[in-house]
């Protein structure tokens, strides 16, 4: 009877399995279910390893930024006032009253390139008296007694609009070049008696250095102003030559006053 050798395949497989499970230090691999395959994904496609317990990512804090609502401090209306003095000449019926130093106060509101304000001026004047022979003392004293010595006080109320022509500034202030126009009323009261009220027109140019805080503002302003006011002594006057001329004309019907201005503006 022939001897049939037994196949070692089954026995060898069993032995190798026993040795594999009995080997020391055997590590159990953790298997993560990658989830179901997509319909078009091949079975042999490799899946990336997914950590079941990832460490949280630490995000650095973002610095908070709070915008300044008053960054453009020219953008809102501000109550603004000012005090100052003017230097120049004040004219009455064509005659300068000499050096005039009006004191003035302003009050109004400013925003962006516009400043709307009212002003009050007060100044003393010395108008010319009629020319008389200085040797005839009696006649001169009589004229002064009848007409007064020309001294008096002037009050002026005005409404003005000022606009910035050019600006060199940051958000919290700067330097403005401006022009302005206004209407006013002059009230002249003579010391010897009598009053005279007349309208005027004022035109000006100037510059202002201004600091704008979040609540208050202050600065310094310089300017030049010319005022035109009607005379009351030229009605029916004949044509004359007030200087060298080739044609005589009636006298000018308006007084012109030229004044330099220094003002300290302030407000909130």
Q: What pLDDT, in 10s, does the model give residues 95-136?
A: 877 778 999 999 999 999 999 999 999 999 887 655 545 555
User: Using CA atoms, how far apart are residues 105 and 257, in angstroms rounded to an integer?
Assistant: 19
Run of H or E residues at 37: none
Confidence of residue 34 (pLDDT cuts 50, 70, 90): low
237 has a pLDDT exceeding 90: no
pLDDT digits (tens, 9 = 90+) for 203-219: 999 999 999 888 899 99
Residue 60 domain flag: no
Model confidence at 137: pLDDT above 80: no
CATH (domain of 201): 2.40.160.20
Kindly state whether residue 91 falls inside one of the protein's structural domains.
yes
Burial of 173 (0-12, 13-18, 19+ CB in 10 A): middle
In a domain, 222, yes or no: yes
Residue 42 lies in a domain: no
Query: Is position 43 within any domain?
Result: no
pTM, whole model, 2 decimals? 0.66
Question: Total domain count for the chain?
Answer: 1
End-to-end CA distance of the chain: 127
Compute the chain's Rg from CA coordinates: 48
The four Cα atoms 245, 250, 251, 256 give a dihedral, to 10 degrees, of -90
Domain contains 201? yes
Do the bridges between strand 217-230 and strand 254-267 make them parallel or antiparallel, or are there none, so unpaired? Answer: antiparallel
- Are the beta carbons of 74 and 87 closer than 8 angstroms? no
Residue 230 maps to a domain? yes
Instruction: Please give the residue range of the domain that contains residue 113.
Output: 78-234+251-267
Worst-scoring range by mean pLDDT, 9-13, 31-35, 91-95?
31-35
For residue 27, tell me if it sits in a domain.
no
């Amino acid at each position: 009877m022939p001897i049939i050798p037994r196949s070692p395949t089954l026995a060898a497989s069993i032995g190798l399995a026993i040795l594999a499970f009995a080997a020391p230090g055997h590590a159990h691999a953790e298997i993560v279910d990658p989830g179901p395959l997509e319909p078009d994904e091949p079975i042999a496609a490799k899946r990336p390893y997914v950590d079941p317990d990832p460490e949280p990512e630490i995000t650095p804090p973002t610095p908070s930024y709070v915008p300044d609502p008053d960054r453009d401090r020219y953008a809102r209306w501000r109550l603004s006032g000012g005090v100052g003095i003017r230097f120049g000449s004040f004219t009455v019926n064509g005659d300068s009253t000499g050096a005039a130093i009006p004191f003035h106060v302003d009050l109004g509101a400013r925003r962006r390139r516009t400043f709307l304000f009212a002003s009050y001026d007060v100044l003393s004047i010395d108008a010319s008296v009629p020319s008389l022979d200085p040797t005839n003392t009696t006649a001169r004293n009589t004229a002064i007694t009848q007409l007064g010595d020309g001294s008096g006080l002037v009050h002026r109320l005005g409404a003005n609009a000022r606009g910035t022509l050019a600006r060199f500034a940051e958000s919290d202030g700067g330097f403005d070049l401006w022009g302005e126009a206004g209407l006013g009323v002059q009230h002249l009261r003579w010391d010897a008696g009598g009053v005279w009220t007349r309208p005027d027109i004022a035109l000006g140019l100037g510059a202002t250095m201004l600091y704008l805080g979040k609540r208050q503002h202050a600065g310094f302003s310089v300017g030049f102003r010319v005022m035109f006011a009607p005379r009351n002594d030229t009605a029916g006057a004949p044509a004359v030559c007030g200087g060298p001329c080739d044609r005589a004309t009636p006298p000018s019907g308006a007084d012109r006053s030229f004044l330099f201005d220094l003002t300290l503006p302030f407000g909130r």
